Amino acid sequence: MSTLKYAFFLLFPFCAALSSVAQPVNDICSAAIDLSEDLSQPGSLLGPFSNVGATGNDLDIASVTGCWLDDLTGNADGSSPQIDATVWFRFDGYDGVLMLYVQPCDSNLNFISEDTQMALYTGECDSLELVICNEDIDGAIYNYWSGVTTPILAGRTYYLAVDGFNYSGFGSPELPLTTGEFCINMNEPATNLVEIEHGKVVAFPNPTSGTITLQSDSPIAEVSIFDLAGRCCRSILNGTNVQQQTIAMPDESGVYILSVKSERGVTMHRIVKE
């Protein structure tokens, strides 16, 4: 993936003027721009924002490993990511699934400004817990913008860090740190219908020590279990029309998101496994 980035960049030379640029207002976690109000209108394009002049000196992001690939070593294994052009956003969670991604603000695609990396956290700035991170949406087709889809929970505060890609670790100091203007799309997947008119699914017991029983007023087609990092732990596709079903939860204790698809739509349930 890093080789593709390098080759692609060489096809698009650029000229950069040296100038003094002020730090963005959201240069550190504690100054994150609040996007909570924008979640009330999913699908709207937020921005433009910019990471030009961002310092990357915020130690709150130091736990990001295994995802960002602009390693100081050039190995592209995520073990020593360069954190040097980071801007921060925050929002209040809800019970559901969030699709969050960086995209161009207009039709003027700009590789330099839009090659981004992101990390989503929950908690507070001095004690962040990584939820999920992303380097490229699809590097195979040169889509180097970042994005994630993950369950989120009501009652939690989320922090989003967006960072630029830095080529210096690949032995190419003449190549830039990607900074510039970008926009953010915060959306709900089309199947994420938390409230379903005239539909009802009950999941019990909750908390559970092992299994969950589902009762629905319409046939259950599919059940999926996600952990809080957005990973699908289990998916059950029903070949018969059942309105009651008992499923086994993952072995590990914790909070999970249960997605239940019926002919009326999809409901999301927060389940505690003891």
| Mean pLDDT, rounded, of the chain | 77
Beta carbons of 214 and 252 less than 8 angstroms apart: no
What average pLDDT does this structure show over 134-143?
71
What is the model's pLDDT at position 14?
A: 44
What average pLDDT does this structure show over 13-25?
58
Does residue 13 have a pLDDT over 50?
no
Stated pTM of the model? 0.66
The band of 17, judged by pLDDT with boundaries at 50, 70 and 90, is very low
Range of weakest confidence among 52-61, 106-115, 215-224: 106-115
pLDDT tens for each residue of 177-188 = 788 888 898 876
**Beta-carbon neighbour count of residue 6 at 10 Å?**
14
What is the model's pLDDT at position 92?
A: 93
Domain boundaries, the chain: 2-187, 201-273
pLDDT tens for each residue of 235-258 = 888 766 688 888 899 998 887 878
Share of the chain above pLDDT 70, in %: 75
- Of 150, 22, 132, 148, nearest to 87 by C-alpha is 22
- Which helix (H) or strand (E) covers residue 141, if one does? none
Range of weakest confidence among 76-85, 104-113, 258-267: 104-113
In whole angstroms, give the CA distance from residue 72 to residue 62.
14
What is the model's pLDDT at position 171?
A: 64
What topology is assigned to 201-273 in CATH? Immunoglobulin-like (2.60.40)
What is the model's pLDDT at position 161?
A: 93
